[in-house]
Amino acid sequence: MELGLNGKVALVLGSTSGLGRASAEALAAEGAHVVVVGRRADLVEQLAGSLPSAHGVVADLTEEGAPARIVAEAREAAGEVDVLVLNGGGPPPGTADDFTADHAQAAVDLLLKQHVALVGEVLPGMRSRGWGRVLAVGSSGVQQPIPTLTASNVGRAALAAYLKTLAGAVAADGVTVNMVLPGRIATDRLASLDQAAADRTGRSVEDTQAASQAAIPVGRYGDPAEYGAVVAFLASTRAAYVTGEQLRVDGGLVGGY
């Protein structure tokens, strides 16, 4: 299937590892020029150099003014941004009974504030050109809160509310806005969560992983490339009539409709 991404400029946040990297690789494979963003210069340069057409931007999204600088560098290197993939590190684990107002503020700053600023930098251009894609790496916790990831549940749900509202406001301008919700995908982030769960329960990591995979209907963790393929489709011309959605990539983990 031709996805119509050849020559499109895709800005992918947090793209040096995990789901961000999988998204960047999938978009690059479809012919997009990918702007790789990460905090470590060596990893940014390594990934950008491995892709068919890419440019690297070294930046920490949590720093003040980072969204404007990232987009400015992307424009200078590659032109106007056609596809924006929002992604960032997850907050530390924690349960709701230990959640504080300070934790809530940190979650909003990390998972909402800077991403809204990024959208604000690229959205006017997308609307004026009549074409754009805004995608966010979410979590299954948006639809089914994860008891040990309260900060992530709160911050990502806030981002989901903003994106759903935005989707209706810009749909007539040819801009789609969607969120892709991973379940348990085999990334370093999941490995760290499995280790934390093992430490908390006193079980081995192997037993923890086995129990976790047994709860997934397909019986295994997802491959990051399976996630990236969904991102590439939603970024494509083929998905022009899909907007305001939260698409799960979770092997059937979430039980709700």
pLDDT tens across 24-78, in order? Answer: 999 999 999 999 999 999 999 999 999 999 999 999 999 989 999 999 999 999 9
Say if 37 falls within a structural domain.
Answer: yes
- Per-residue model confidence (pLDDT) at position 90: 81
> How many CB atoms are closer than 10 A to CB 112?
20
* 28 and 127 both lie in a single domain: yes
Give the side-chain half-sphere CA count within 13 A for 250.
24
* 233 and 203 both lie in a single domain: no
Say if 257 falls within a structural domain.
Answer: no
Say if 254 falls within a structural domain.
Answer: no
Backbone φ and ψ of 39, nearest 5°: -85, -30
Query: How many domains, the chain?
Result: 2
* 190 and 72 both lie in a single domain: no
**CA 127 – CA 117 distance, rounded (Å):** 16
* 42 and 168 both lie in a single domain: yes
Element of type H or E holding 117: helix 114-129
User: Helices (H) and strands (E) in the chain — how many of each?
Assistant: 9, 7
- Per-residue model confidence (pLDDT) at position 1: 79
Say if 190 falls within a structural domain.
Answer: yes
CATH number, domain of 152, equals 3.40.50.720
* 127 and 190 both lie in a single domain: no
Say if 179 falls within a structural domain.
Answer: yes
Residue range 139-157: mean pLDDT, rounded: 93
* 17 and 52 both lie in a single domain: yes
Say if 3 falls within a structural domain.
Answer: no
Say if 63 falls within a structural domain.
Answer: yes
Q: What is the mean pLDDT of the chain?
A: 95
* pTM score: 0.94
pLDDT range class, residue 166, cuts 50, 70, 90: very high
Query: Which residues form the domain of 208?
Result: 186-221
Say if 196 falls within a structural domain.
Answer: yes
Backbone φ and ψ of 138, nearest 5°: -110, -140
C-alpha R_g of the chain? 18
* 242 and 207 both lie in a single domain: no
CA 1 to chain centroid, in Å, comes to: 23
- Per-residue model confidence (pLDDT) at position 256: 84
SS3 state at 227? helix
Closest CA to 34 of 5, 4, 67, 65: 5
* 18 and 98 both lie in a single domain: yes
* 191 and 180 both lie in a single domain: no
- Per-residue model confidence (pLDDT) at position 26: 98
* 109 and 235 both lie in a single domain: yes
Look up residue 244 and give its amino acid.
G
* 199 and 133 both lie in a single domain: no
* 132 and 202 both lie in a single domain: no
